[in-house]
Chain A
Amino acid sequence: MSARQLTLVASTLTNACGLGWAAVRETLRNGRSALRPFDLEWAPPFATWIGRAPGLESVRIPDDCPKLDSRNNRLAHLCLEQDDFPAAVAAAVARHGRDRIGLFVGTTTSGILSTELAYRARLAALPDAGTRPALVRDVHNMHATTAFVRCRLGLAGPVQTISTACSSSAKAFAAAARFISAGLCDAAVVGGVDSLALSTLFGFRALDLVSTGPCRPFAVDRDGISIGEGAGFALLEPGGDGPVCLLGYGESSDAWHMSSPHPDGAGAVVAMRGALTAAGVDATAIDYVNLHGTASRANDAAEDRAITTVFPATTPVSSTKGFTGHALGAAGITEALITTMALVDQWLPGTVNCTVVDPALRAAVVRESRAQCLRVAMSNSFGFGGSNCALVFGMTK
């Protein structure tokens, strides 16, 4: 579906690389992985590395929104405090009205960590220990963080939480483009927020998908993902003022398996080709692809097959998950925004932690970051349940 000239008027992102654009940009430009050995005080020990956002423990949720303290809402709050993003939204509210700005937020676990810790405390407590730790529906519900963000930004337009596993916040762009095209809103805030939780850490371990060290996307010795956390938001406005715009999106389903990708990346191929068609560009026009690139053996192999099916063998590709970790429901917005940064900076991010590219993979993997002329770039996001989304961004004409 075409999303012609849907301009990114403002954006912000926060993850293990830092709080806000300046910190994230510095970490990326310095080629530093932000992953660290597992050090979560509230979790059982786990031999892995994680992408942990700094300072969440000391964040205080403001009182002007309903009291909804959770790691996820703290992350959303911290992210919204960076880059003057609320001021840009307020200016859009002044232009269009608060009921004409949509809000589309991806997440996979919302406030589930609060539930997990309360439930653990319950089972650990002695029967006569007094108060039962509460399970709070308004914190746990999948929509909790979106409701918090809507309140923080003072928006009153159409809203939806998107939860399609690791494609969630990429699909937020697609939904926003449709709502604007259908006339249901004039502009939209899209984003994603996903924070570290026990269920994702131990769930991915149960599937044998977690690396014991820092993740090494597309590397010969890759052995799984590094789970991260992150948040990001973008304000999209047709014909708005900004250097980069969303040119198109493509979506598909694998119809293959709940937690394994189609081995040939068939669904990924459909999503990428759909995005190219929507953007009105040929595969040869894509100057860079930011891969989903999780560093799991099977995911990278399937994506490699999909990439080499769609693109010429020379199209530069890289995965930035070695910098940030895999932010799951926030991976789409994180990597979409890193892709827009690549366009703005005319700079191609490398695949940090990938020392030797797997010789069985044929895509033109960029290991070391470099300056490069970029006009059009793609960002891929693929998730459990076979949910695929590809986004195409370009310089505003």
Chain B
Amino acid sequence: MRPVAVRAVGICAAGLPNWASASRVLAGAAAFALGPPPNRPLDGLPPTERRRINETSRLACLAAGDALAQLPPGAAAAMPAIFTSTDGDGIVLAQMLNALAQRDVVMSPTAFHNSVYNAPAGYWTMAARSTAPSTTVCADAASFAVALLEGYTQAITTRGPVLVVAVDAPFPEAIRELGTSTAAFACAIVVDGASEPNKGPWIERWKVGSSAERLRRGDEIGAAYAGNGAAAALPLLRALTRCDATCVVLPYVDGTWLELEVAP
């Protein structure tokens, strides 16, 4: 498989508010402390949409915005976007389930339109004023790897940059069985299939394997986001902070792994 360049990385997670600070933490140059999810303003959305936006869409858009801020202005408007989530938005789901359990069912129209799995993509394309294609994919615990592979195929077929965004967040207590995140985590990565080499890290040597490779055992940061499907991206994000080539192994489906080589 062909290598793709990594143009930008963004993050919006409890304790890791943006890539500028998260990259220092992941490189071991700053201490990690889990805190509340970032509450910075979301640019680009009209006020009505900003009032309606659900939590996972908000986190996903902030992570995407963090990545796009590292690229020339206007890049977002033409960039295809791929979103993923392992469990979707638990807050919206609980609200909908409660409404559906009443004798007289009265559903909130906003809750319903926020309940679609592609709500983050919908809000992002509005915020970025992007009419480029967007998609939303998932595959349980393999969701991040599946979105990254979709990003890879789009990057090499368009020979340009694409945005990959992953988000998961804790579910309300009443439906905790359906979503296991303990802390909110959203990240974004821009991969570019343009053929001319450029400065910056590359992902190469993509391979799905079922052999003896193992995920790197959880460290303190990984443990803080236990059960959060989007945080499966952490080993890749950490590798992108290193200055030597690193093999990254991401969970794929049915006990297989997606293996990547990250070159600085």
Contacts and interface: CB of A to CB of B under 8 A. Distances in A.
Q: Do A and B come from one complex?
A: yes
Interface of A: 1, 44, 99, 108, 115-116, 119-120, 122-124, 134-137, 140-143, 146-147, 150, 156, 158-165, 171, 175, 178-179, 181-184, 198-199, 202-207, 251-259, 266-267, 270, 383-387
Interface centre among B128, B142, B177, by most A CB within 10 Å?
B177
B100 A183 contact: no
B134 A387 contact: yes
User: What are the 5 tightest A-B residue pairs by CB atom distance, in nearest-first order?
Assistant: A385-B122, A203-B112, A163-B117, A251-B133, A253-B125
28 contacts: A44-B103, A115-B93, A119-B97, A119-B175, A137-B180, A142-B117, A160-B139, A161-B139, A163-B117, A165-B118, A175-B150, A178-B154, A178-B157, A184-B1, A199-B100, A203-B96, A203-B107, A203-B113, A204-B112, A207-B113, A252-B131, A253-B130, A255-B128, A255-B130, A255-B131, A256-B126, A258-B114, A258-B123
Interface residues of B, number: 65
Interface centre among B128, B131, B177, B178, by most A CB within 10 Å?
B131
Contacts of B143: 143
A259 to B, nearest CB: 4
A274 to B, nearest CB: 8
Interface in B147-186: 149-150, 152-154, 156-158, 175, 177-180
Contacts of B115: 199, 203
Contacts of A181: 153, 157
B55 interface: no
Interface centre among A123, A171, A206, A267, by most B CB within 10 Å?
A206
Given A150-B254, A270-B131, 13 more contacts: A44-B105, A134-B177, A135-B177, A137-B87, A160-B137, A160-B150, A162-B135, A184-B149, A253-B133, A258-B49, A258-B113, A258-B114, A387-B135
Given A44-B105, A159-B146, A205-B107, A108 B117 contact: yes
Nearest to A104: B137
Contacts of A120: 100-101
A255 B129 contact: yes
Given A137-B177, A254-B125, A182 B153 contact: yes
Interface of B: 1, 49, 52, 86-88, 93, 96-101, 103, 105-109, 111-119, 121-123, 125-126, 128-140, 142-143, 146, 149-150, 152-154, 156-158, 175, 177-180, 208, 253-254
A290 B146 CA distance: 31
Contacts of B154: 178
A206 B101 CA distance: 15
A119 B177 CA distance: 12
Contacts of A135: 175, 177-178
A255 B97 CA distance: 28
B149 A158 contact: yes
Contacts of B118: 163-165, 383-385, 387
Contacts of B153: 175, 178-179, 181-182, 184
A182 B135 contact: no
B131 A206 contact: no
B146 A164 contact: no
A276 B85 CA distance: 32
A255 B135 contact: no
A108 B117 CA distance: 7
Contacts of B180: 137
B97 A387 contact: no
B116 A384 contact: yes
